[in-house]
Chain A
């Protein structure tokens, strides 16, 4: 079948709207991942050994099973226990949970990059825990973890296509839908790929700029 420009113009608006959904799910999932990561990380640093073990096992479980299966659990299996979530909420939750396990790891690496002497200094200067993190520790661990967390966002943007399997009306889902209407996939899938490419490259560029600014500061 010849490449049809008229089909391109026909599906472009719908794909554009779907790309916005992809972006919304990714941003929501990203914020959720930052929060889940903090919770996971907090568990692994708890005073009680049993809680630390729970944290480590949770992270391991989430990282060692496919995102797609986790999305299935939330979308198809939780409803059997009376927990019914919309497709969009499922998407945000699944992405956030899965990547939260990785951001927890980034937090850990960032914290370990702060020299022990900094803790000696804040302790000897009587900083409270809150003040120590707020004024001394976090400002020092942000530069090393920014590239990692930035790349996580780009990975999540691409991973959000997996959510098409649980009926989140994002870019991949709509592209697939449009293609199946006429059994003509070339135009919608190529366009979807291009849109992912443009979005990913744009965020990589923004990240590059943020990192450069941070290094100068």
Chain B
């Protein structure tokens, strides 16, 4: 059974179809990059896995447990559902395009916040853990800085450390390097690459930067109009794309 499974999932925003009878499986430890034009549904895919969005049809499961089942009429706002969704979220960590750090907390406080206020670890131990994680992303010396005093690349590395603090099995990267100046991409990519060496960690990387997909992924999927229209092992995908639309996208992005 896959770590992430989508079975005939559909998702609409009003009249717009974001996912259409979407089938998708990611095995444990797999590193998958998802490419596609903006509006192709790739970010929504991640937000569904993080339980930030629901689905309209089909079923999504994580690690063998059902997250969404449209037929069972799951209502995320209902009291009993909240606990279940929080449980499912414990499997997943997410990194956002705009970092979404807490601006009123220092870097180390950002990373320590969830261990303290969610897991209930005492302040000293949480800060020690956070300091360790910041060292892992190369920011031990920036621990006392507020996000506003950090570069975009540094902020994103703090955000990665913050997501790792809850020890997720699945890490989601939603255009994690897209808001960065070109010269800051590599420092974030280095951290992502190091994470990709962790055998058991499942990674889903949404991007439109081909270099990011190449550096991280074992498998690349290309999404268009709410579906995966082409996928394959990274070398194969970039070496000999079969679909016309994939080729058009790849040449357009490479020129840009």
Contacts and interface: CB of A to CB of B under 8 A. Distances in A.
Interface of B: 50-52, 77, 86, 89-90, 92-94, 96, 98, 100-104, 113-114, 117-118, 162-163, 166
A128 B113 CA distance: 12
Contacts of B94: 120, 124
A125 B96 contact: no
B86 A126 contact: yes
18 contacts: A117-B96, A118-B102, A120-B52, A120-B94, A121-B96, A123-B51, A124-B93, A126-B89, A126-B90, A126-B118, A127-B118, A128-B118, A131-B117, A131-B118, A134-B117, A135-B117, A139-B104, A140-B102
A126 to B, nearest CB: 5
B86 A140 contact: no
Nearest to B78: A47
Interface string A134-176: 1110011000000000000000000000000000000000000
A73 to B, nearest CB: 37
Contacts of B103: 140
Nearest to B114: A125
A122 to B, nearest CB: 9
Contacts, number: 55
B141 to A, nearest CB: 23
B100 A123 contact: no
B104 A47 contact: no
Contacts of A115: 100
Q: How large is the interface on A (under 10, 10 to 19, 20 to 34, 35 or more residues)?
A: 10 to 19
A47 to B, nearest CB: 6
Given A126-B90, A127-B118, 19 more contacts: A117-B98, A118-B100, A120-B50, A120-B94, A120-B96, A121-B96, A121-B101, A123-B50, A123-B51, A124-B50, A124-B92, A124-B94, A125-B113, A125-B118, A126-B89, A136-B113, A139-B104, A140-B102, A140-B103
Given A126-B89, A126-B114, A135-B113, A121 B102 contact: yes
- Which has the most chain B C-beta neighbours within 10 Å: A118, A125, A140? A125
A71 to B, nearest CB: 40
Interface of A: 47, 115, 117-118, 120-121, 123-128, 131, 134-136, 139-140
A156 to B, nearest CB: 29
A137 B207 CA distance: 29
A161 B101 CA distance: 46
Contacts of A136: 102, 113
A118 B99 CA distance: 9
Contacts of B89: 123-124, 126
Contacts of A139: 104
Given A124-B89, A126-B89, A140 B100 contact: no
A67 B52 CA distance: 44
- Which has the most chain A C-beta neighbours within 10 Å: B94, B114, B117, B162? B117
Contacts of B118: 125-128, 131
Contacts of A140: 102-104
A47 B77 contact: yes
B149 to A, nearest CB: 14
A130 to B, nearest CB: 9
Contacts of B93: 124
Contact of B166 (A120, A123, A126, A131): A126
A136 to B, nearest CB: 6
Nearest to B99: A117
Given A123-B89, A124-B52, A124-B92, A117 B117 contact: no
Nearest to B90: A126
A135 B101 CA distance: 13
Q: Which 7 A-B pairs have the closest CB atoms?
A: A117-B100, A121-B100, A125-B114, A124-B94, A131-B117, A139-B104, A126-B89
